[in-house]
Chains A and B, each alone.
Chain A
């Protein structure tokens, strides 16, 4: 192990970096050495991590990461409170907000049902969903179009059915600039199902 040749604090830093997703031992040691050589960047990083850990929490209403509880979206009177969009991850909220097309509220599941990984409904942020459906007229299921995402959407729609709330699924189809030739049969089938008149 290379760590034997490093002073203990440096070895600890490399190990800490290598625990991060997508970072292998080489990258971890490169990052550690960079920070040692750039003290100002290291201090800023330390402060940013400290601030994020101290101030960011999950919104008690939607489950998104926020620095105020409830989050700005849940608290906003300008949002449409009768529309609720269910997404997998906080990153998906950002993706939808960037479009500027959606003005409703969100609910973040923090994952999808994945029986093979042992992820069941109790591991998802589902329990708080039912407490906030009083004013909701439509629930949009915007989980990813993967097998697990579809299973999650089917599961949630089954739970919501007795509540007489309109449940919709975001459309699936060909990406803008994509090539029909390379599209798979599930995508083409869904694109044909969701076709609309011009």
Chain B
């Protein structure tokens, strides 16, 4: 079919040509898609609102030889709360960047679609960076590379109140004896426990979870390190976010 519909979230936008925008969509039906939205940088474009970053919309796309084109777009949710808050914008950028890097084109992933949509809504209430960490853990769980946090991946020793070391190569944490000279990130027991809660807790419970600056740095830094190693791509927004 030359024309098709997509119920999708805009996960990336780039300026393209004179007044066009190249947008990456994550759709319920077809997974990740890329399309050109023509003339949307002009003030009078009727598609301007629907093609903004993070917008959830109904798209009508035309399949082109090289690139698909946006024919029509009807925005369903613009997530105004993300526009008005710097930290929420950064957290949402980190989430959609991870989604973009972790998925391939036209591979339907409905579970990831609902996860992303839910977290964009929940960002209105939740601490943005706790939400970012919870989202990353759940995405890794769906994709099948969630780090094992209970026991040392090398010797199998249960890790309870001792310091552990996150290692992407091992697929989880290592104890102090097994880490040797591997590239690792330190994870203290408190951070490990919080990560387990972030993975399982319902949104109203996530809102009650708290972390201090050092746990925040450890968890977000550890997740960025683990995902970058696993996906073999740099997470630019995650790196920028930690500096801002």
Q: Footprint of B on A, CB under 8 Å?
A: 21-22, 113, 115-121, 146-148, 150-151, 154-155, 158, 175, 177-179, 182-187, 189
Contact = CB atoms under 8 A, between A and B. Distances in A.
B208 interface: no
A115 B90 contact: yes
A118 B53 contact: no
27 contacts: A22-B17, A115-B90, A115-B93, A115-B97, A115-B237, A116-B12, A116-B93, A116-B97, A116-B236, A117-B14, A119-B240, A121-B244, A146-B13, A146-B52, A147-B52, A147-B82, A151-B89, A155-B86, A155-B244, A175-B43, A175-B44, A178-B43, A183-B49, A184-B48, A184-B50, A185-B78, A189-B80
A186 B83 contact: yes
A148 B244 CA distance: 14
Interface of chain A: mostly helix, strand, loop or mixed: helix
A113 B48 CA distance: 20
Contacts of A116: 12, 93, 96-97, 100, 236-237
Contacts, number: 80
Given A118-B239, A146-B52, 14 more contacts: A118-B240, A120-B243, A150-B84, A150-B89, A151-B86, A154-B84, A175-B44, A182-B46, A183-B49, A184-B78, A185-B49, A185-B78, A185-B80, A186-B78
A22 B50 CA distance: 23
Contact of B49 (A150, A154, A155, A184): A184
B94 A154 contact: no
Interface residues of B, number: 37
Nearest to B49: A184
